[in-house]
Every structure is written in structure tokens, then in C-alpha cells.
Amino acid sequence: MQEDSSDPHPLGDLAYDWITLMQNKAQALMAYDQYIKDAEAANSPECAAFFRKVHDADKAQLAEAKAHLVAVLQGKMGSQRK
């Protein structure tokens, strides 16, 4: 993938979307860690278990999103912005 130095927006919309999604998932993972601690402090193992389940799902989605972003940046997925 070759960048056009005259393009004021060298990052395509699709790549930006993946980066934004990944940032949101990463922030959510940090929040879930706190939610788990809060549930444990409240002596609610059911809530802690649910937050762990959501955490694990988002962690897996984050890994999948990373693979998609790499493919987009390498030009293997989506069309390149002109």
C-alpha cells in the first residue's frame, strides 16, 4: 500500500473504523476489570462471572479486529482509498 503524500487524510475510512473499534474494545476491557473487582467486593460471583464472560468475548473480538486491520492496511481487504 502506497500513501499519497498530498492526501490530507492518508488513513482510509475502513482502517479508521477498525482502529476506532479497537480503541473502544480496549477501553471496555479496562472497565470490565474494574467491574469484576466491584462485583467481587460486593460478594456477587454471578455478576463477576458475567463481566468475565463479556471481557473474554471482547478480548477475542479485539484480536479478530486486529487481524482485519492488518489485512486492510496491507490492501488485502477492502478497496484502497484513492
Q: Which position has the higher pLDDT, 80 or 44? A: 44
C-alpha pair distances (Å), 68 with each of 11, 12, 57: 15, 14, 17
Please check whether residue 35 is in contact with residue 82, taking contact to mean a CB–CB distance below 8 angstroms. no
pLDDT-derived band at 79, boundaries 50, 70, 90: confident
pLDDT of residue 52: 98
Say yes or no to pLDDT of 81 above 70: no
Show the CA angle centred on residue 65, arms to residues 62 and 67, nearest 5°. Answer: 115
Task: Go through the chain and tell me how many residues it has.
Answer: 82
**What are the structural domains of the chain?**
13-73 (1.20.58)
pLDDT of residue 80: 57
CA distance 76 to 72: 6
The predicted-structure confidence for 8-65, as pLDDT tens digits, reads as follows: 667 899 999 999 999 999 999 999 999 999 999 999 999 999 999 999 999 999 999 9
Single out the residue of 61, 60, 62, 80 nearest to residue 15, CA to CA.
80
